[in-house]
Amino acid sequence: MLACARSTLATLEVKQLSAGYERARVLFNISLEARAGEAVALLGPNGAGKSTTLKAIMGLVSPTSGDIVFNGRALRGLEPYEIARLGLGYVPEDRRIFTDLTVAENIEVARQAPRAGASTWNEERLFKLFPALAALRDRRGGRMSGGEQQMLCIARTLAGNPSAVLLDEPSEGLAPLVVEQMARAILEIKRARVTIVLAEQSRHFAGRVADRTYVLDKGVIRSA
């Protein structure tokens, strides 16, 4: 009964969230939600606050007010690692690959035990998702192209077997061909029933993978 009720509820829910940095307030009472298995896009121009939203959800920026609920757990005040261990994955916009570590080691850092109710990604499955990575298994992260790093970044996050992922502009700065690969990979992840929140500037890319979109402008949700 409860389980049935939950499936119609949001997996991730952001309520009246405000957040910012030392001097600047960036987000003003934004609310959004993503249901299980759904892909929602957060669209907006440069500086709208998309990345800040994802960072606040992940505990990397402290909100000044509002609530964040993930699978029934309140996230505010938790450390990023605690949030990650609840099954929420994060792919930052600047990728932040460990440049000193090899591809396999980067993946190892994020590895978590299989999670009930979420799909399990072992190395083999990750290399199937991103075949280009297989050949680079022992390459250091710092010696990979931007596109390869982006793939590794997503693969790394999936290695934690998340039930939902926050993707920050995965198509940014990639060649058209690679953007296409990326879109296909994200659709594949979606098919694995991973909930996706995608921050994007490109309406076109968001339209290819997302079920719904929110438009964020100057820290306020304009339309849903």
Query: Of 53 and 213, which has the nearer Cβ to other proteins?
Result: 53
Calpha distance 168→153 (Å, rounded) = 11
Residues 129-168 that bind other proteins (CB under 8 A): 156-157, 160
Which whole-number Å values give the CA distances from 61 to 82, 112, 195, in the listed order? 14, 24, 22
Query: Of 126 and 183, which has the nearer Cβ to other proteins?
Result: 126
Residues 6 or more apart in contact with residue 152 via CB below 8 angstroms: 97, 103, 106, 107, 130, 133, 141, 144
- Residue from 81, 116, 177, 223 touching other proteins (CB under 8 A): that is 81
Contact set with Mg ion (CB under 5 A): 51, 93
In 10 A of CB 1, how many CB atoms? 5
Calpha distance 216→220 (Å, rounded) = 6
Instruction: Kindly state the smallest distance separating residue 149's Cβ from Mg ion, in Å.
Output: 17
Q: Tell me the site size for other proteins, rule CB under 8 A.
A: 26
Calpha distance 196→66 (Å, rounded) = 21
Query: Of 90 and 130, which has the nearer Cβ to other proteins?
Result: 90
Q: State the binding partner of 60 from other proteins, Mg ion, ligand ATP, none, CB within 5 to 8 A by kind.
A: other proteins
The beta-strand segments (E) located in the chain are 10-20, 25-35, 39-43, 63-70, 73-74, 88-91, 164-168, 195-200, 212-217, 220-223
Q: State the binding partner of 1 from Mg ion, other proteins, ligand ATP, none, CB within 5 to 8 A by kind.
A: none
Query: Of 157 and 161, which has the nearer Cβ to ligand ATP?
Result: 157
Nearest Cα neighbor of 13 from 57, 52, 61 is 57
- Residue from 33, 44, 156, 161 touching ligand ATP (CB under 6 A): that is 44
Q: Does 157 bind ligand ATP (CB under 6 A)?
A: no
- Residue from 69, 201, 212, 217 touching ligand ATP (CB under 6 A): that is 201
Q: Does 101 bind other proteins (CB under 8 A)?
A: yes
- Residue from 5, 24, 116, 177 touching ligand ATP (CB under 6 A): that is 24
Q: Does 105 bind other proteins (CB under 8 A)?
A: yes
